[in-house]
Amino acid sequence: MDTSREERIATRTTAEVVEAVGPRLRALRARRDVTLGALSERTGISVSMLSRLESGQRKPTLELLLPLAKAYQVPLDDLVGAPQTGDPRVHLKPEQHGGRVVVPLTRRTGGVRSFKQLYPPEPPTADRTQRTHEGYEWLYVLSGRLRLLLGDRDFDLGPGEVVEFDTHTPHWVGNTSDEVTEVLCLYGPQGERAHVRSRPGRSDGA
């Protein structure tokens, strides 16, 4: 196949993808049972602009699609119907946070998000200042031991134990054992909780 023909095919494919964005957005809004007015309030995009975008009279741009992806809590690729790469693997990117290794397990921009966290052993002199922030947190210990200071309560969590708490409550989470502790964490913004709720079965301060 010559270069010019490849370019024509690529151009046609791109045009088809762009043309399909409007109907895709309209169908997604219908499935979510969201009005144009409500969507406008969530995104800051005018009702007339949203209507033109769904009807194909306005070409999609990142400036328009990014707020919509956030409002619908879906990856940007889902809005444009990006072709599959053929690779089903999820490529996780570990991050460092205060000595912990945090691996995001979801790509959502809002709602409940999941992470795998690795807590290294901490020295007895480690700072255990309790802090507060927005949201709810759900922790499941996969291996090792995890210590949770929650207000005036002190919990020692082992493998298979679960705890969920409002992060407005002063708290500190760390590893006071001699081995790395693996934890599955679900974190939701203010008002959003995990469906499973459980209190730890073992504590040394409750």
Q: What is the pLDDT of residues 20-75, one digit of tens each?
A: 888 889 988 888 888 999 999 989 999 999 999 999 898 888 888 888 888 887 77
Average of per-residue pLDDT values in the chain: 78
Report how far residue 133's alpha carbon sits from residue 135's, in angstroms, rounded to the nearest whole number: 7
**CB contact set of 5 (below 8 Å; sequence gap of 6+):** none
Return the CATH fold of 95-188. Answer: Jelly Rolls (2.60.120)
Q: What is the pLDDT of residues 163-192, one digit of tens each?
A: 999 888 999 999 988 888 999 998 876 655
Query: What's the pLDDT at 177?
Result: 84
CATH entry, 3-80, from 1.20.1260.10, 2.60.120.260, 1.10.260.40, 3.30.70.260:
1.10.260.40
The pTM score is 0.50
In this predicted structure, the answer to whether residue 203 has a pLDDT above a threshold of 50 is: no
Residues of the chain with CATH 2.60.120.10: 95-188
